[in-house]
């Protein structure tokens, strides 16, 4: 019997993304969730063994998903180098390729997987409570039996939810690939603003670089209210993604048009603030940027 070698998969891409935040020596500075500040090669961070591997029945592993992600990353790396970094607008075909990369960046992260795990756990707990209630309440069983069921409705079974929860890694990986085209289409249809950092400014990134915010709803309902829950399809939704230490993208439904700008410092700072909002590990090209974050904490 052979043991499958554990492979390190980046849940934030390295060659096409994290390297864009490296200094001349090829290293980045990291401020981790424990408050430790250190410099390292970006290949060493934001990865986990067999993160995208789907285990086959014979005990082997399938790397099809990792290979697909690598292809998406390779295409975007070329787009960034040849067009975005040079301040050139993308063609519709290139825009579609970038949208796929952005969708993958959103769906592939460890934090996204943890969110799925949390939702599955809540669903399973709710189903368990309902099961207990019906087992202990004959009237509840009679009521449920009397409710008509649609012949074309799909049922969700507690066993399936439990299986997904027990194998949340593979569930995340397979659903990620199912969701990728739809999410990419939504991002493609948004208006995009590529921005260059002002002189002396540096964009930061994190383990969760794709951020969704609804500024208008937050002003109206509050940051933690149901009415301001983030989501791509809401009319006031905005997406921010730092693309490198010098470039970022702002996407949304209410932007005037697709354009390229040199960001004013206040706008660039807002991009970094949004990156920091849910970050646990922060990455920057220069230590001084992270020192300021520590000082302001």
How is the chain split into domains, by residue range?
A: 8-147+157-296
Q: Measure Cα distances from 166 to 13, 117, 174 in Å.
A: 26, 9, 14
For the CA atoms of the chain, what is the radius of gyration? 22
**Residue-level pLDDT at 223:** 86
Q: Name every residue whose Cβ is closer than 8 Å to that of residue 171 and which is 6 or more positions away in sequence.
A: 116, 120, 164, 165
**Residue-level pLDDT at 294:** 92
Q: Do the beta carbons of residue 106 and residue 209 sit within 8 Å?
A: no
Note the pTM of the prediction, 2 decimals: 0.85
**Residue-level pLDDT at 143:** 60
* Residues in the chain, pLDDT under 50: 1-4
- Collapsed DSSP state (helix, strand, coil) of residue 28: strand
Tokens matching residue 5: 């070698």
**Residue-level pLDDT at 111:** 83
Tokens matching residue 3: 């043991």
């Amino acid at each position: 019997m052979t043991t499958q070698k554990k492979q390190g998969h980046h849940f934030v891409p390295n060659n096409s993304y994290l390297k864009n935040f490296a200094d001349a020596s090829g290293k980045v500075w990291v401020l981790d969730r424990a408050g430790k500040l250190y410099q390292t090669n970006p290949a060493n961070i934001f990865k986990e063994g067999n993160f995208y591997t789907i285990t086959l029945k014979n005990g082997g592993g399938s790397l099809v998903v990792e290979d697909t992600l690598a292809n998406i990353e390779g295409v975007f790396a070329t787009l960034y180098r040849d067009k975005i970094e040079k301040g050139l607008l993308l063609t519709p075909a290139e825009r579609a390729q970038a949208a796929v990369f952005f969708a993958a960046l959103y769906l592939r992260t460890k934090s996204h997987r943890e969110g799925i795990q949390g939702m599955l756990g809540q669903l399973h707990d709710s189903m368990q409570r309902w099961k207990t209630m019906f087992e202990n309440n004959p009237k509840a069983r009679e009521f449920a039996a009397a409710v008509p069921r649609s012949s074309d409705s799909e049922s969700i079974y507690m066993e399936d939810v439990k299986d997904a929860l027990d194998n949340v890694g593979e569930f995340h990986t397979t659903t990620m690939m199912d969701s990728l085209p739809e999410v990419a289409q939504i991002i493609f249809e948004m208006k995009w603003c590529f921005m260059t950092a002002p002189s002396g400014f540096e964009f930061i990134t994190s383990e969760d670089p794709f951020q969704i915010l609804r500024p208008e709803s937050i002003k109206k309902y509050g940051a933690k209210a149901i009415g301001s829950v983030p989501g791509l399809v809401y009319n006031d939704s905005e997406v921010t993604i730092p693309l490198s230490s010098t470039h970022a993208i702002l996407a949304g439904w209410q932007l005037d048009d697709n354009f390229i700008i040199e960001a004013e410092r206040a706008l660039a700072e807002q991009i970094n603030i949004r990156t920091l909002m849910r970050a646990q590990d922060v990455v920057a090209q220069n230590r001084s940027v992270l020192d300021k974050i520590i000082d302001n904490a």
